[in-house]
Structure 1
Amino acid sequence: MVLDQNVVNYLLIVALLLLIVISMKMKNLIVIKVLIKTAIGGLIIFAINLVLAVFKFAIPLNIINSFFVGVLGIPGFGLILMIKYFIYP
């Protein structure tokens, strides 16, 4: 029996979403929560870069910046801006 690649992808996405929901309810799976927040931070940086591309404003999108923005939130974003403009002008 041969499975279509779309079916396999769909099943993997459903399994990942179930894992995310379970990890949000359980306190033990903090590693998965940090990974999810890092991914969300990367999406936020990507969205900011898209919106502010008109002003030639860009924040480097890497795992460290994504972690800071995802876990720390607005203070993490401020930290990245301070590092970008005050330490490395």
Structure 2
Amino acid sequence: MAATARLVVQMTPEEKRRLERRAKSAGVSTAEFVRRRITDDDLAEHREEIEGLLDALSAAEPGIIARLDAALAETEALTAALRERRVP
């Protein structure tokens, strides 16, 4: 979604310099730096939930890989069978 809302924040000159230094160090504009920090804070609020989801995904990975391998083998077998049916 495109950024369309504007926020004006009053801060001291030193706070602004510090914000600008941190943004420059991150290689982004000050506005992008602030947006990323908000996103980071949102993620931190849901850290436990995210870690649980990542654990569940990791636990499911072997089964997912096995099913993908089986589907690939079946696809390869069907492709080979179709090639055998072709008449030159």
Scaled by the length of structure 1, what TM-score is found? 0.29
Task: Name the structure, 1 or 2, with higher relative contact order (CA <8 Å, separation 6+).
Answer: 1
Which of the pair has more CA radius of gyration?
Answer: 2
Using the size of structure 2 for normalisation, the TM-score is: 0.29
